[in-house]
Amino acid sequence: MDSPLIAAVRRFNRTVTQRVGALDDEYMARGRPLAQARLLWEIGPGGAEVAALRVRLGLDSGYLSRLLRTLESDGLVTVGPAEQAGDQRVRTAVLTAAGRAEWAELDKRSDELAWSILAPLTEARRERLVAAMAEVERLLVASMVVIEPCPPGDPRARACVRAYARDVGRRFDDGFDPALSNPVRDEELVPPAGVFLLATLNAEPVGCGAVKLHPGAPAEIKRVWVSDTVRGLGIGRRMLGELERYAAERGWTTVRLDTNRNLTEAIAMYRAAGYREVEPYNTEPYAHHWFAKDLAPVGP
Amino acid sequence: MDSPLIAAVRRFNRTVTQRVGALDDEYMARGRPLAQARLLWEIGPGGAEVAALRVRLGLDSGYLSRLLRTLESDGLVTVGPAEQAGDQRVRTAVLTAAGRAEWAELDKRSDELAWSILAPLTEARRERLVAAMAEVERLLVASMVVIEPCPPGDPRARACVRAYARDVGRRFDDGFDPALSNPVRDEELVPPAGVFLLATLNAEPVGCGAVKLHPGAPAEIKRVWVSDTVRGLGIGRRMLGELERYAAERGWTTVRLDTNRNLTEAIAMYRAAGYREVEPYNTEPYAHHWFAKDLAPVGP
DNA sequence: CCATATACCTGACTTTAGTCAGGCTTACCG
DNA sequence: CGGTAAGCCTGACTAAAGTCAGGTATATGG
C-alpha cells in the first residue's frame, strides 16, 4: 500500500462523499422519504421494469413492492404489465402526469445543486473543477468494474458474447458469422476445462473474456470484449491479466490467441501486454494473426 | 447556467456520492449502527467535547446523548467533565482502550477502502486519479466557503480580526500596533453605516472583510483577510466582490482602500480586480498605497 | 441572589429502512 | 401436462434514525 496516495483518497472520500453526498440526499428528498424519491427518479419519464429497478437500486423485492404501492397511492406512478407484452410476470412502472411533474422538479433541483457548486467559482476554476471531476469519475468507474467467473450460459454472458459478435462483425472485412468460426462450446469454458470471466459495472455486464485450458497444450484465450461505454479504462488489459492468471495458477505456462487484422487496438494491446506473434496454430477462418505469451509459474 | 458543466457535475455527484459514499458507509459500519460508528470515529483518540460532536455530526442533542450512552455501556467510551475544568456543564467524551482499538480498526478499514479504489488501477492511472481527486477536493472546498454579513462583535469576527492583525504584523516592516493605526469602530461596520462580512467553511471562520459607507464620500474597504488554510482558492477576490456589491447596491459609485507596500499579493489582487492607484486620501500610518475603483450602478 | 440561559440528559414517541416467510400467477423444461 | 422456477406481491416483523417535550445542574447578568 502506498500511503500518500491512500491519504489523498481518504481526504477525498471524507470531503466529497460526506459533504456533497449529504447535500445530494437533501436536495433529492424534498420532504419525501429518500428511498421513495430515489425510486421515483430511477423510474424516470420513460418508465422502467420492476426487476430493473430492483437491480439498480439494490432493494429487497418486498421492500420495492411496498415503495411502489406507496407511490401508486400518492398518484405518482402506475404499475402495469410490461409494455412489450412478452413475459406476463414482468411488470413495468410508469410515471403519471403528477409523477412526471415531480420527476421534473427533482431534475431541476439536481441542476440547482450542481449550479450551487459551480456558482461561487470563477469561470476558470469552474472549468478546472469540471475537468477534474470528469477525470475522477472516469477512473472511479474503471475501479468499480469487477471481473468474476460466470457460467457461459448466464444471460449476461450470452449478452456479452452477442455484443462481441456484433462488434467484430462490424469491424471484419466481410462480417462475422459465428457458424463459420471455430466453435467454442460452453463446456469448454466451465472449470476445470476453462473459465468464462464477466466484467460488470454495478451488476451490468460491460465486458467478457474466456480461456480454454487445453490438456497438454497452451491455454487459449477467446472472446475478449469490452463494451465501448468503458473503453479506454484499461479493462481489456485487466481482463487479459485475469485470464492469464487463471491459466498460470493452474499450471499452464503458455497462453495463445488469434485475432483479425482489423482489430488494431486489440493487436496493439496484446503486443503491449507481452504477446509475440507466432505461426498459425489453428485454422480459424477469421484470424490473420496468432499471438503467444509465456507465463511465469504461480502458486494457486 | 451552463448546461454541459452542470451535466458533468451531476454525473460526478451521481457516481461518486452514491457509489463511493455507500461503500464508505458499509466499510465504516462493521455491523454496528452507522451513527454509532461515525460518532466513535469523530471522538477520535484525542477525545472531543460533546458540543463539538453535536456540531460536527449535526445531531440532535438527545439523540447524541443516547448514542454516547450506548457506546459507554459497550465499554468503548467514557464521558466525563471537560478536561480543562472550565465550564462544569461541558462534558468530554474519551475513548477507552477498547474504544481506541475499535477506532484503530476503523482507521485500518478506511485505508483498505481507499486501497480498494486504487488497487484495480495501473500505477499511472492511480497517480492520475489521486491528482484529480486532490483538484476536485480543493475546488469543492473553495465552493463550500460561504460569505455572509456578521456582527463585528461576534467571537468569530473578532478571531478573524485578531488573525488579520497577527498576519499583517508579521509582514509589515516594523510590526502592526492596532492602536497606532486609524481606528475602526464596530458601529461603523454595522448596517446602515457599513458591514462586516465573514467567510466560513463548515461554520469555521476562514476570512473576513468590511466596508464603511461614508455618507457623501467613497465607500472604504477594510480588514480583508483570508486564512492561509484556504488561500489560493479565490476567496479574497470573492470577498472583495461581495464588499463592492454591498456598496454598489446601496448607491455608492466608488470604493477605495489603503494597503502596505509589503502585501504584494494583495496589491496584485487589487490591480487585477480593476483598482487603480490614487493619491493618499487618509493619513493611515501603515499605508503606502491607496487604491480606488468605480462601481457600476446596481439595483438593490 | 434571582431570573434566565446553557449544556447535557431521559423518556416517550414516530418514521424510515430493511428483512423474511409465504402466496399467487406466469413461464419453462422434460 | 406436471413439476419447478421466476417475478411480483402481502403480511408480520425488527432495527435504526430521528424528534420532541421536559428535567437537572451549572453558568451568567443585573
Is the pLDDT reported for residue A244 higher than 70?
Answer: yes
Q: Which single residue has its CA nearest the C1' atom of nucleotide C28?
A: A87
Task: Name the nearest CA neighbour of B129 among B141, B110, B115, B142.
Answer: B115
- CB within 8 Å: A6 and B137: no
Please give the pLDDT value at position B48. 93
Q: Which residues on neighbouring strands pair with residue A258, listed in sequence order?
A: A290
Instruction: Determine the residue among B3, B5, B26, B238 to mutate to test chain A binding: the one whose Cβ has the most chain A Cβ atoms within 10 Å.
Output: B5
Distance B11 CA to C16 C1' (A): 27
Whether A24 has its CB under 8 Å from any CB of chain B: the answer is yes
Report DSSP letters for A11-70, one per residue.
HHIIIIIIIIHHHHHHHHHTTS-HHHHHHHHHH-TT-EEHHHHHHHHT--HHHHHHHHHH
What pLDDT sits at residue B300? 61
CA of B40 to C1' of D27 (A): 29
Identify the band that residue A211 occupies on the pLDDT scale cut at 50, 70 and 90: very high
> Does residue A240 surpass a pLDDT of 90?
yes
Please give the pLDDT value at position A195: 93
Q: What is the pLDDT of residue B1?
A: 60
If one counts every other C-beta atom within 10 angstroms of the C-beta of residue B111, the result is 17
- How much is the average pLDDT of A166-187? 85
DSSP per position, B121-134 = S-HHHHHHHHHHHH
Q: What is the mean pLDDT of residues A57-80?
A: 94
In this predicted structure, what is the pLDDT of residue B260?
92
User: What is the per-residue pLDDT for A300?
Assistant: 62
Which chain A residue has its CA at the smallest distance from B127's CA?
A: A5
Chain A residues inside the 8 Å CB shell of B234: 121-122, 125
pLDDT of residue A188: 87
Task: Name which of A294, A234, A242, A7 is nearest B115 in CA terms.
Answer: A7
pLDDT in tens, A73-107: 999 999 988 776 678 888 999 999 999 999 999 99
Contact residues on chain A for B139, CB-CB shorter than 8 A: 121, 125, 128-129, 132
10-residue mean pLDDT series, chain B (300 residues) = 84 86 86 94 94 92 96 94 79 95 94 91 93 94 91 84 90 84 85 91 88 94 93 93 95 95 94 94 91 85
Task: Give me the pLDDT at residue A268, please.
Answer: 95
- For testing contact with chain A, the best of B11, B59, B139 (most A CBs within 10 A): B139
The C-alpha cell at A30 is 424534498
CB contact under 8 A, B143 and A19: no
Residue B280 is given by DSSP the state -
Asked whether A233 and A140 are in contact (CB, 8 A), the reply is no
How many Å apart are CA B298 and CA A64, to the nearest integer?
Answer: 53
Chain B residues whose CB is inside 8 A of the A2 CB are 118, 126
Residue B160, helix vs strand vs coil = helix
Phi, psi at B66, each rounded to 5°:
-65, -40
- Binned at pLDDT 50, 70 and 90, residue A220 comes out as very high
Residue type, B20: V
Residue nearest to nucleotide C24 (CA to C1'): A89
> What is the structure's pLDDT at A54?
93
Strand partners, A204: A201
A202 touches chain B (CB under 8 A): yes
Whole-number pLDDT of residue A198: 92
Cβ–Cβ gap B120/A135 under 8 Å: no
For position A86, what pLDDT does the model report? 75
Structural domains of chain A, ranges and CATH numbers in brackets: 3-120 (1.10.10.10), 146-294 (3.40.630.30)
Strand intervals (E) in chain A: 48-49, 77-81, 91-95, 146-149, 194-201, 204-212, 219-226, 254-259, 276-278, 289-294
Q: Which amino acid is at B57?
A: L
